[in-house]
Homo-oligomer: A and B are copies of this chain.
Amino acid sequence: MNINGKPYRTIWTDPAEPGAVFIIDQRPLPHELRIVALRTLDEAVTAIRDMWVRGAPLIGATAAFGLYLASLEAQTQADPAACLAKASRRLAATRPTAVNLQWALDRMQAVLQPLPAGQWPARALAEAQAIADEDVQISYQIGQNGLPLIEAVARRKPDEPVHILTHCNAGWMATVDWGTATAPIYLAHQAGIPLHVWVDETRPRNQGARITAYELAAHGIPHTVIPDNTGGHLMQHGLVDMCIVGTDRTTRCGDVANKIGTYLKALAAHDNGVPFYVALPSTTIDWSLCDGRAEIPIEQREGSEVTHIQGWDEEAGRILPVRLTPANSPAANYAFDVTPARLVTQLITERGCCEASESGLLGLFPEKNSV
């Protein structure tokens, strides 16, 4: 999408600079737009592991481009195949729970292994590019399938903006372009529908306040940042027309694991008759699970993400962490929660929309009937 009028993706190459992969380093957002060139496997590993890039689809694409960088390095090694395999293992270990990561690496290995090492770089670059392009296409399809839901509201209230609440960042910065939850929003904006997005700040890591707000501001979409506590009040007072969120993992029965706090917004939406949509690429459906609450393991992260926060020191003009809590108070940091399917109005996938249920999902993905 656009940053101040110029179109970007989150990851790209430039024919004029072979051997370089460009990313937006998302850590200093929204305070600084930092474009970084990754030129080695080490740099790609660092970028994924230390969350310069994040979001399952973007992690997958970055790993694919990382293997392209590794294929260049393998040329000078005694055993290029061993070198490539080791690179793949290193990349896979950066974020062990990201399902797209292993999928992208397996796909890259499958096309490279049959070839002589000398042909790897060109083939790896093409395949990584294909993975990125396909991700853009999937997000775009999610957008196309979600767009009618926004259009329907816009028809009901032609003189007012459609108010959409979102949680965390399932935006283009989490994918290669368009995003998942944001894809229908960007397409509706492109279609001239007046919109306004309520952006949950999404503590503790504030991906809403930092990244979703940055995206929307940079693309010119009206929005307002709110504390995570606010959505229920807004819904009680008719100020939210729909919620659209992303998901990290959805079970075959339609239970949705997403950033911590999603469940609370789904409860409020349900209590106030506000539609609650979850946008997802089908790669994030876990066909092996049904009961999300019981079966999806929830990552616990460092308490320091709760006790400390990073912001812009306006006096010194720099990014600074500050402590929010008493020095001797512990903090808990559960990264995700599970929203039961009963609270989800519809799932929006690249193949279309469906009820959040096994039969709904199998209707769109009949090939999974045998799983």
Contacts and interface: CB of A to CB of B under 8 A. Distances in A.
A232 B267 contact: yes
Given A264-B268, A322-B322, A326-B30, A331 B224 contact: yes
A54 interface: no
Given A229-B260, A233-B263, A261-B228, A323 B312 contact: yes
A314 interface: yes
Interface in A259-306: 259-261, 263-265, 267-268, 271, 293, 298, 306
B202 A229 contact: yes
A206 interface: yes
Interface residues of A, number: 68
A261 B230 CA distance: 6
15 contacts: A30-B329, A203-B203, A214-B329, A225-B331, A225-B332, A226-B331, A227-B260, A230-B260, A232-B264, A236-B337, A267-B267, A309-B311, A309-B322, A314-B323, A322-B322
Given A213-B329, A223-B329, 7 more contacts: A199-B329, A203-B227, A217-B328, A225-B325, A229-B259, A236-B293, A308-B311
Interface of A: 30-31, 198-199, 201-204, 206, 209-210, 213-214, 216-217, 223-234, 236-237, 259-261, 263-265, 267-268, 271, 293, 298, 306-315, 320-334, 336-338
